[in-house]
Amino acid sequence: MLVHKFLIRIEEERGRLLHWAPLFLGTGIGIYFGLVREPTLVVYAGLAVLIVICAVTARLWPWGIGPLAIAVGLVALGVCMAGARAHLVAEPVMGFRYYGPVEGRIVTIDRSQSDAVRLTLDQVRLDDVGPRNRATIVRVSLHGDQRYLTPAIGQRIAVTAHLSGPNGPVEPGGFDFQRMAWFRGIGAVGYTRVPALLLAPPEPGIALAVSRLRQAISGWVRGVLPGESGAFAAAITTGDRSTMSRSTIEALRASNLAHLLAISGLHMGLLTGFIFQATRMLFSLWRSVALRFPIKKLAACVAILSGGFYLALSGGNIATERAFIMVATMFVAILFDRRALSLRAVAMAAIIVMTLHPEAQVEPGFQMSFAATTALVAVFGWLRDRTRDDRVWRAPKWSRPMLAVVISSLVAGLATAPFGAAHFNQISHFGLLANLLSVPIMGALIMPLAVLAALLSPIGLGWAPLKLMGPAIDWIIGVARFVSSLDGATGQVPAPPDAVLPLVAVGGICAALLKARARWVALVPFVGAGLIWIQTTRPPVLISATGGLVGVMTDQGRALSKPRGESFAALSWLENDGDPADQETAFARQGFTGIKGRLRADVAGVTLIHLTGRGAGDRVAESCADADLVVLSGKLTKPAPPGCVVLDRATLTEMGAVALWPDAKGIRIETARARSGDRLWTR
């Protein structure tokens, strides 16, 4: 009886299989990225056979079973798509440390986490390194005195740099930079403190013409609007954030306004929506065109073309490409006389993005963008259906635009909050207030003025709209700084286990797609995710992959073994703990005893000694007598005494970062390499 009712429910959803397809396709992609061993050719062949069987079953089998077969086939297809993409983007990855001359052509300019100018180079040449071992794309951060180079897209430069392959997670299960770099083709990363030299000016040709145009427009915008206003305007028009100050970016993040910088769904929607409405209005004033042609569809075509140009101008990153696909899908729906803002359009956009870039699914931009869009379309669709009933109260017309902004900000904020908290370990308590004060300004003034500046720039009048943008941008930056300075503006949360976000996604999709009482099913994954998250336990001990930094959990929070150095690992540990402290504050906590070079910590019933500095390897034997485990930042010079657990630099290089957990036998060692597994990007 229960099986019969279940099959009836499934059959009722047959007409909305497209809505559910992203869930099952995404499940397959998630399974691929969750594996600890790369699938073999035999596995892919088996999945291909399964896909065919499911397709035949869906075609021939009676009601109920067909949709289930489609779901299973989509999961298998998702695994195959992600695996195919991982193999297609394969590029050489540097497997050794390199110091020497590096030549290459600049293709991207941005800033590192330390606020240094960072260059991405292609056509790379390294001294005495053959093509098989040479990275195709290299990313170098410029430190020190760089007065001799003003970076420009297309320049060929030479620099003496330290390079190595992309590093793995700073803790087991942490953010996997190796995987991200693999899918972006980056085979080596590094830095230089030596001045970079210009070898050749930008080459003529169309290969980097769009990038050069982008940089030229960015420079023109900053010339008209100096300071932070110009940097903000350049970021939203061309995606160039290289001149944004770290303090402004941090204020925008703390006030939940950082999404205004990223050229994503909001910008693409505002831009194409404004152009669509403006074009439609202009065509309606042209009587002969309005009477002879479908001006709504013509305006949709113009909006799609403008969105494509904006995509190319902004650098064409995955986030902007995803936003363009989403708005293009909605305008194509207009061309076919379908409702533009519908869950079907959102589902189609998600399928296209996952097909082109399966790796985007595990990135915060994809998750937050589609969470917000799905929630907004579902909520406003529900409100539209409700207001058709004459018995339902309707807001006065004059208040509807402001009410729409309030509802949009509230719904989008609630939908993206779990994903933002999980990825960035931060919750903005006054984010709704900041968005209510900023998003209307963005939509009503800044984006229309940006379009007007683009239209007037060929005749030399583009500066006028840019000047008008200045006060509006200053308002948004002022709101960000005010909100971020309020007491309790942000709250920190620990990083959740891997199962939390998939459960949240399943709950959200069920809430959006299921009908009537069936929506209550969404509470099950939501509650499950919440229970798992609040019971999160952080590792008592964390050890960096170099052995130079150790963090132990205390009553005050995690204590670190040094106040400076390896700051990326240190801050990542603290953020994942949900701890707002900086590295120096964490070092000052009472977690270690001893003297510099030989620190001792007693945590979770384990005694650990951390040896650093010159001659540390010679002190291992005496330290083993007093400790359960010895961490050595250098190489082990003599064999360790029997029964002594020693983690030296060579061992940690193979294992990656380490987390120590207490168990019945004493300690359990969990390594980043074991969690990441044997994948294409870890080899």
Q: For the segment 294-311, what is each residue's pLDDT rounded down to a tens digit?
A: 888 899 999 999 888 888
Helix ranges (DSSP H) in 336-363 = 343-356
Q: What average pLDDT does range 2-10 have in this prediction?
A: 59
What residue type is 594 in one-letter code?
Answer: G
CA torsion through residues 615, 618, 623, 629, sign: positive
Q: How far apart are CA 30 and CA 362, in angstroms?
A: 8
Top-confidence residue, 164 or 150 = 164
* Closest by Cα among 537, 557, 559, 539 to 549: 559
Q: How far is CA 56 from CA 9, 59, 224, 456, in A?
A: 22, 5, 62, 57
Q: How far apart are CA 624 and CA 628, in angstroms?
A: 7
Residue owning tokens 């299973």: 72
CATH 2.40.50 describes domain 98-200? yes
Could you read off the pLDDT of 317-328 as tens digits, one per residue? 666 777 788 888
DSSP string, 462-520: THHHHHHHHHHHHHHHHHHHHHHHSTT-EEE-PPPPTTHHHHHHHHHHHHHHS-GGGGG
**Band of pLDDT at residue 40, cut at 50, 70 and 90:** very high
- Other Cβ atoms less than 10 A from the Cβ of 205: the count is 8
Q: What share of the chain is helix, strand, coil (3-state, %, to 5)?
A: 55, 15, 30
* Closest by Cα among 424, 313, 439 to 365: 424
Name the residue ranges covered by the structural domains of the chain. 2-88, 98-200, 209-248, 249-492, 496-535, 541-682
* Chain-centre distance for alpha carbon 207: 27
Return the exposure string of 255-274: e unless at least 16 CB atoms fall within 10 Å of the residue's CB, then b.
bbbbbbbbbbbbbbbbbbbb
Q: How far apart are CA 223 and CA 235, in angstroms?
A: 14
The pLDDT value recorded for residue 474 is: 93
Judged against a pLDDT cut of 60, whether residue 645 lies above it is answered with yes
* Chain-centre distance for alpha carbon 192: 26
**Band of pLDDT at residue 407, cut at 50, 70 and 90:** confident
The proportion of the chain whose per-residue pLDDT surpasses 70, expressed as a percent, equals 93
Q: How far apart are CA 160 and CA 33, in angstroms?
A: 36
Mean per-residue pLDDT of the chain:
86
* Closest by Cα among 334, 221, 191 to 272: 334
The pLDDT value recorded for residue 333 is: 85
Could you read off the pLDDT of 159-210 as tens digits, one per residue? 999 999 999 899 999 999 999 999 999 999 999 998 999 998 887 766 677 7
**Band of pLDDT at residue 8, cut at 50, 70 and 90:** low
The pLDDT value recorded for residue 531 is: 94
- Asked whether 92 and 133 are in contact (CB, 8 A), the reply is yes
Q: What average pLDDT does range 57-79 have in this prediction?
A: 84
Q: How far apart are CA 513 and CA 346, in angstroms?
A: 12
Q: How far apart are CA 332 and CA 335, in angstroms?
A: 5
